[in-house]
Chain A
Amino acid sequence: MLHPLFRSLNQPRNQSDPGHPKRTGRGFGNFLLSGASGLSALPSRILILAGALLLLLSLAGCTQNLAGNISGWNALAVGNEVVYVGTKDGRVQALTDRGDGNLPAKWSYPPSPDSDDSLGGVYGTPLLASGLLYVAAENGYLYALDPENGSVSERGWRRPLGQDQSQLPLVGGPAYEPINRLIVVGSEDGSLYSYYAETGEPVWRPFQTGDKIWSTPVVGNLDGIPAIYFGSHDGNIYAVNPANGEEMWRFQTGGVVAGKPLLMDRMIIAGSFDKKLYAIDAFDGSKLWEFEGGNWFWAGAVSNGTTIFAPNMDGRIYALDRSGILQWEFDAGAEIVSPPVLVPRGLVVANRDGDLILLDVARNAGQRELHRLTLGDAEIKAPIYAVGDTVYVGSDDGSARRVEVHEQFSEAVLTARACWKHDEECR
């Protein structure tokens, strides 16, 4: 037997035609058809226009960066008048900073971007410690470079993290533990690795968490008890003993902990993707307070000793006192992925729109934004770096800039003084 819907489809469309009998079918088919028949009343031109618009939108979707081929965030660090940039073309670039308008290249590792030794990109801030420059790379290697010449063969070393040859990327930066002279770094394989800073020899068996680690560890020494604090995608904040790599405590949050924790007094301040900022007792891992923001807390918070400045992906900076009470908040206008830095004149915040904003943190009310400097169209996601009144910024366009905070007509302003970009003019 013919299905009712098919029978109804066999009915003539033109019901007014006396030559055709009226539709008599019932059931699901007719129900569907009666609902659809209204569409046929729409003029063809409207349908064609709507179709063309959808096609145009589809093409617009195609033109965007489909592959998402992104290599790090152009993270940088500064020491001994040299700026070290983990470039997006997979190198570590050393730039001489003499305080003038130039940032001339000093060395790069590897020398060519097309080299097989390419780092793939750098997300976390490079670390200068123990006479070496430590860089955690997208290719899954931890590099210890000679800061003078970028060599790994003479004084430096490099170690693949992971148990096999398919190393997972390193997103968080390395941290130095001075008592045991360790370098610790987390990997996307969920482990925290430890190496002797000078030799690169592994120290303890990797500490295993339940998921990826993007968080840069922070090292503390409270009352003579050293500890390494970091977060994981499994939602936990961990405290690990640097002497033996054993867990001291863990605290469960409701989401991913991707940022670098802040050690303040005897508290660990860490944000989570559950939109909350947590204050945890650094000794036993118990919760002291929590504060809810508008979106993820990704970037780590900073503190001037009395106030905690916590950036949020809702584009706001939340200023909290030690008890977690909100003092003020400031809308930066776009998501904040890069942790802010404190300078003598205030707090410098970088947002995804490429703005660098100087905030007055001293006043209790009124105009908080002192100055805003837009550094082109490129996003700023890498941690910015401050040395005194100078701020160094690595942008997504592959540039590294030196920005100075200074007085101009009795007002604090930000001015870009020097810029570097590989093989391109930088403005």
Chain B
Amino acid sequence: MGIDDLWREIIIRPMLNLLVVLYTICFNNMGIAIIVFTVIVRLVTLPLTIKQLRQMRSMMDLQPRMREIQDRYGRDRQRVSQETMRLYREAGVNPVGCLGPLVIQMPILFGLFRVLIQTVYSRPDHLVALAEKFYAWIPFFPIYTAAPLSATFLWMDLSEPDPSRVIIPVLVFVSTWLQQKMTMTPSTDPRQSTNQMMMLWLMPLMIAFFSFTLPSGLSLYWIASNVIGIGIQYFVTGWQPIFPLFPKADPVPAAAPSSSSYDEPEEVDGDARTSRNDRANRRRGNRTGSERARRRPRRGRGRSTK
């Protein structure tokens, strides 16, 4: 069995049959079928998503200690990375653990692209290829008679890019940006923080750009997935991570949520002030600011675990 066969049997066929079954259940509407499909995918990957959130939470908790390491071994990069890895190990944090849901999403996205082409493009060749991919053993659902599937949903042909050229790309951009903003892990490293800010804008822009040319069914999946992701994130953190909407690339304020509780908003201002002082102190090479920053998390953590 080659890699193509594996791809077909593990990804394409299960996904395709599930989508066609959902299509027959959802009143022969591919748009609703894709949304329900997305909900199922997000439910299946929910443990990974929760794991990701947990890893992020742990990473945030470790920020003060990481800053401590940087302060202590700032010039010795190798030592910094060794100590950081040791810290991760001790805390049981896997720095690449956050990528789990993203990695899972990739084959689903590629697979859905292929599945959409094969199911909603009703050219003779696509239909011929479709017939061999149906599971003959699926009972109750008339998947054979469902084909060729109708690709119409609202104003769109789901096999083609959004004809308005605006609505779907904007929705893709906004939902991706919001999702990313809510899940962004604050960093103490100025470079990393700048990178995060760049990613916050570049990633949604890039995906929105892709949605100009990709089938709108794929964009629909992406938007639905983002909305569900935002919903899950809301259960975890509320809306606070979204604000301020357009923060500057400043690493220190980003650490504030880890030290201060979200249920004490009045402290945020104080922390922000402290952060500004801290930044100024660091520029002057003053250790006092770092000491203060080191103390803050303990205080915050103590409160939150009461």
Contact = CB atoms under 8 A, between A and B. Distances in A.
A352 interface: yes
Given A6-B238, A39-B51, A60 B106 contact: no
Given A10-B305, A11-B305, A54 B6 contact: no
Contacts of B6: 57, 60
B144 A9 contact: no
A28 interface: yes
Interface stretch (B17-25, B124-132, B165-173, B282-290): B124-132
A212 B111 CA distance: 28
Given A2-B263, A55-B106, A60-B7, A47 B100 contact: yes
Nearest to A352: B128
Given A57-B7, A57-B10, A28 B235 contact: yes
A60 B114 CA distance: 11
Interface string A253-279: 011101000000000000001110000
A13 interface: yes
A151 B82 CA distance: 78
Given A68-B125, A296-B131, A256 B48 contact: no
B104 interface: yes
A313 interface: yes
Nearest to A56: B3
Contact of A274 (B57, B144, B262): B144
Nearest to B57: A9
A1 interface: yes
B236 A54 contact: no
A163 interface: no
A29 B235 contact: yes
Interface range on chain B: under 10, 10 to 19, 20 to 34, or 35 or more? 35 or more
Q: Main SS of the interface on chain A?
A: loop
B128 A295 contact: no
Contacts of B134: 295
Interface stretch (A30-38, A323-331, A355-363): A30-38
Given A13-B54, A33-B50, A36-B47, A68 B237 contact: no
Contacts, number: 163
B272 interface: no
Interface in A58-86: 58, 60-62, 64, 66, 68, 70, 73
Contact of A3 (B93, B104, B142, B238): B238
B39 to A, nearest CB: 16
A20 B305 contact: yes
Contact of B96 (A10, A11, A48, A256): A48
Contacts of B123: 68, 70
B198 interface: no
Contact of B263 (A1, A56, A70, A273): A1
Interface string B222-246: 0000000000000111100000000
Contacts of A60: 3-4, 6-7
A337 B236 contact: no
Interface string B130-149: 01101010000010110110
B182 to A, nearest CB: 12
Given A70-B125, A255-B145, A64 B236 contact: no
A295 B304 contact: no
Q: Which among A9, A40, A56, A171 has the greatest number of chain B C-beta atoms within 10 A?
A: A9
B94 interface: yes
Most buried by A among B11, B54, B61: B54
Contact of B144 (A14, A35, A62, A273): A273
A61 B11 contact: yes
User: What bracket does the count of chain A residues touching chain B fall in?
Assistant: 35 or more
Contact of A255 (B57, B144, B237, B262): B144
Contact of B132 (A1, A20, A335): A335
B110 interface: yes
B114 to A, nearest CB: 6
Nearest to B238: A3
A57 B3 contact: yes
A91 interface: no
A380 B144 CA distance: 22
A274 B146 CA distance: 9
B177 interface: no
A58 B128 CA distance: 23
Contact of B147 (A20, A61, A273): A273
B113 interface: yes
Given A61-B11, A274-B145, A44 B94 contact: yes
Nearest to B90: A14
Interface string B73-96: 000000000000000000111101
A171 to B, nearest CB: 6
Interface of B: 3-4, 6-7, 10-12, 46-48, 50-51, 53-54, 57-58, 61, 91-94, 96-97, 99-100, 103-104, 106-107, 109-111, 113-114, 117, 121-126, 128, 131-132, 134, 136, 142, 144-145, 147-148, 235-238, 261-263, 301, 304-305
Closest 10 CB pairs of A and B: A36-B50, A9-B57, A51-B103, A255-B145, A61-B110, A313-B131, A60-B3, A58-B107, A58-B110, A36-B47
Given A3-B235, A274-B144, A313-B132, 9 more contacts: A7-B304, A36-B50, A54-B106, A54-B107, A60-B7, A61-B11, A68-B123, A68-B125, A381-B125
Interface of A: 1-3, 5-7, 9-14, 20-21, 28-29, 32-33, 35-40, 44, 47-48, 51, 54-58, 60-62, 64, 66, 68, 70, 73, 123, 171, 212, 214, 233, 254-256, 258, 273-275, 294-296, 298, 313-314, 335, 337, 352, 381
